[in-house]
C-alpha cells in the first residue's frame, strides 16, 4: 500500500539556520510527490512538487526538495529559516486519480 | 491559485444533531472536490470524492450514511455529518483540483466539536 513517512514529529531550528525535513514514501510506480505547508487558520499551501525530470525542485518561499529514488526520499530543505516559516509541513504522494496520501506532518518551531 | 472557502470555520454542536459544512470554489468550476479529515497531530485522511451530478465516492471505512456529500453545483460541495457523536469531532478540509489536475487547492478547514 502507498504510504508516506515523516519521521520527525517536530523540529526546532534557530532563525537563520538551515532546515531539512525528512520524507520517505512507499509507492510502486513513479511517484508524484508534494510538500505542503499548513498555517493556523489557513488552508494547505503547495510549496513544491516533483513529477519528473530534474530531481532537485525549487519551490516558493525559498524551499527546495530533492527526489532520491534509491532512498525513496523527498526531503525538504531551506538554507536559512525565517520566523514566519514556523508551521506544519506535510509530504504527500499522489496515488490514483488526484488521490493524495499524506504523511503525519512535521511541526517546525523557529527559535530566536 | 484557486481560492477555496469553507463555512463555517468552526462549529460546536450537541451529540445527535447534524452539521452541514460548505466548500466553495471561488475561482473556477469544479466537477470534483475532495473531503479530508484531520485528527490532532495526525495526517489528512481522504474521506470521499465529491462528484458534480453523481454520487460521491467514499474511501474504505467511511460511512456514507453518516457523512452525506452533495455536490450541488460546480462551485459548491457540502458535507453533512449526521447524528454527530463526540468521536466525529475533528478538522474537516475540502480541496479542489487545479485546472491541469496536477495538484489540489485546499480550503482553510472546519473544526467540528461535538459535545
What's the pLDDT score for residue B75? 92
Rounded to 5°, angle at Cα B48 from B46 and B52: 135
CA distance A79 to A16: 8
Does position B114 have pLDDT exceeding 70, yes or no? Answer: yes
CB-based contact B108 A43, cutoff 8 Å:
yes
B2: which DSSP letter? -
Q: Is A98 on the interface with B (CB under 8 A)?
A: yes
Q: Is A44 on the interface with B (CB under 8 A)?
A: yes
Nearest to B37 by CA among B47, B24, B23: B47
Question: Chain B: which residues have CB within 8 Å of chain A?
Answer: 1, 4, 9, 32, 34, 41-46, 49, 93, 95, 97, 101-109
What's the pLDDT score for residue B2? 61
Chain B interface mutation, best of A9, A10, A43, highest count of B Cβ atoms under 10 Å: A43
Bridge pairing between strands A73-78 and A19-21: antiparallel
Q: How far is A78 from chain B (nearest CA, A)?
A: 22
Residue in chain B closest to A34 (alpha carbons) equals B103
The lowest-confidence range among A27-31, A74-78, B52-56 is A27-31
Q: What is the mean pLDDT of chain B?
A: 92
SS (H, E, C) B79-97: EEECCCCHHHCEEEEEEEE
Q: How far is B43 from chain A (nearest CA, A)?
A: 4
* C-alpha cell read off for A33: 510527490
CB-based contact A103 B42, cutoff 8 Å:
no
What's the pLDDT score for residue B29? 86
Portion 11-40 of A in contact with B at CB < 8 A: 34, 36
Does position B43 have pLDDT exceeding 90, yes or no? Answer: no
* Mean pLDDT of all residues in A29-33: 86
- Residues of A in Cβ contact (< 8 Å) with B23: none
What's the pLDDT score for residue A1? 73
What's the pLDDT score for residue B108? 92
Percent of chain A with pLDDT over 90: 79
What's the pLDDT score for residue B13? 96
Percent of chain B with pLDDT over 70: 97
Does position B53 have pLDDT exceeding 90, yes or no? Answer: no
Does position B1 have pLDDT exceeding 60, yes or no? Answer: no
What's the pLDDT score for residue A2? 82
Does position B67 have pLDDT exceeding 90, yes or no? Answer: yes
Q: Which of B41, B101, B109 sits opposite A98 (nearest CB)?
A: B101
CA distance B69 to B46: 13
List pLDDT tens digits, range B22-39: 999 998 788 999 999 998
Amino acid at each position: 500500500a502507498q504510504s508516506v513517512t515523516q519521521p520527525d514529529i517536530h523540529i526546532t531550528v534557530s532563525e537563520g539556520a538551515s532546515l531539512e525535513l525528512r520524507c520517505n514514501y512507499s509507492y510502486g510506480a513513479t511517484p508524484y510527490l508534494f510538500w505542503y505547508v499548513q498555517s493556523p487558520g489557513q488552508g494547505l499551501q503547495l510549496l513544491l512538487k516533483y513529477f519528473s525530470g530534474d530531481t532537485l525542485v525549487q519551490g516558493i518561499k525559498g524551499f527546495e526538495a530533492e527526489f532520491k529514488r534509491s532512498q525513496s526520499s523527498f526531503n525538504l530543505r531551506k538554507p536559512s529559516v525565517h520566523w514566519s516559516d514556523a508551521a506544519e509541513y506535510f509530504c504527500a504522494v499522489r496515488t490514483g486519480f488526484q488521490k493524495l496520501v499524506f504523511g503525519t506532518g512535521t511541526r517546525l518551531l523557529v527559535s530566536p | 491559485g484557486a481560492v477555496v472557502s469553507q463555512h463555517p470555520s468552526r462549529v460546536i454542536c450537541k451529540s445527535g444533531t447534524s452539521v452541514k459544512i460548505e466548500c466553495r470554489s471561488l475561482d473556477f468550476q469544479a466537477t470534483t472536490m475532495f473531503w479530508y479529515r484531520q485528527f490532532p497531530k495526525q495526517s489528512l485522511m481522504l474521506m470521499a470524492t465529491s462528484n458534480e451530478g453523481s454520487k460521491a465516492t467514499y474511501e474504505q471505512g467511511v460511512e456514507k450514511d453518516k457523512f452525506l456529500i452533495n455536490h450541488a453545483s460546480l462551485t459548491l460541495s457540502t458535507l453533512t455529518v449526521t447524528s454527530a457523536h463526540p468521536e466525529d469531532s475533528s478538522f474537516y478540509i475540502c480541496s479542489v483540483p487545479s485546472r491541469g489536475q496536477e495538484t489540489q487547492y485546499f480550503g482553510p478547514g472546519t473544526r467540528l466539536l461535538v459535545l
